[in-house]
Amino acid sequence: MNLKSPPRHIAIVMDGNGRWAKERGWIRIKGHEQGAQSVQECLTACLEVGVEYLTLYAFSSENWKRPQLEVQGLMLLLEQYLGNKIEEMNRNGIRFSAIGRLEELPRSVQQCLHKAIAATAHNKKLTLTLALNYGSRNEIVDAVKVIAQKVAHGTLDPKSINEELISEHLYTAGMPDPDLFIRTSGEYRISNFLLWQLSYSEITITPKLWPDFKKEDLLAAIEEYTSRERRFGGVQ
């Protein structure tokens, strides 16, 4: 596929793993395991067309409410994925990143995250970001607290607070806002994901469950995105 203007940044809510497993009479973690293969498919597609940033909603701050066995399985799966993929990410020029309240994750997961981030920091072709223990309202609250502290300490003039400054205090500081937002499983919700950053993102909803979302599905979404006219509130 030869695209003149692919999206720089794609954000995806990877929804439907549990339902995919349930339809097959399997435990939910099997759906998450299969979903990891879809991550690989999307990475391949992004590298193929020149997408620079891929941000995936992997574990929300609300997901702790899920059954303990499933949460433990997700954390173990994350550790295994990162441990097995560092060499491949380096080979493909993929830089790994993570956003969220990472300090609240299990210590072993934090260690794996720090190792993957450090080991791939020099890569420049594609940045893969996992949103972990992430909630967009928490992100905005955390940013406001830091800004308020700077104002209180006299290091920041309240008159200088604008959209750019707020963006610089979000977890995603330094990243462009997503051009394309995708949600699988047919749900029409943002689910507390990148509320600030998605202001002008193009949205694609697919009925496919995440484990069934493959390279060709992402390429089709990217191709459809390139046919849209983005006006950012203006008139063309």
pLDDT at 229: 74
Q: Could you give the 3-state DSSP secondary structure of residue 82?
A: helix
Task: Enter the pTM of the model.
Answer: 0.95
> Would you place residue 17 in the very low, low, confident or very high pLDDT band (cuts 50, 70, 90)?
very high
53 DSSP β-pair partners = 9, 127
What does the alpha-carbon distance between residue 8 and residue 46 come to, in Å, rounded to a whole number? Answer: 9
The string of pLDDT tens digits covering residues 206-235 is 999 999 999 999 999 999 999 987 665 655
Backbone torsions φ then ψ of 231, nearest 5 degrees: -110, -15
Classify residue 176 by its DSSP letter. Answer: P
Tell me: pLDDT of 190 over 70: yes
Complete DSSP assignment for 116-166: HHHHTTT--SEEEEEEEEE-HHHHHHHHHHHHHHHHHTTSS-GGG--HHHH
pLDDT per position as a tens digit, 140-188: 999 999 999 999 999 999 999 999 999 999 999 999 999 999 999 999 9
Catalytic residues: 15, 63
Alpha-carbon distance of 11 to 8, in angstroms, equals: 10
Which phi and psi (to 5°) does residue 79 adopt? -60, -45
Amino acid identity, residue 99? I
> Hey, what domains does the chain have and what are their CATH numbers?
9-225 (3.40.1180.10)
Average pLDDT, the chain: 95
88 SS3 class? helix
- Residue 3 pLDDT exceeds 90: no
Secondary structure E strands in 178-225: 180-183, 202-205
Please give the pLDDT value at position 231. Answer: 64
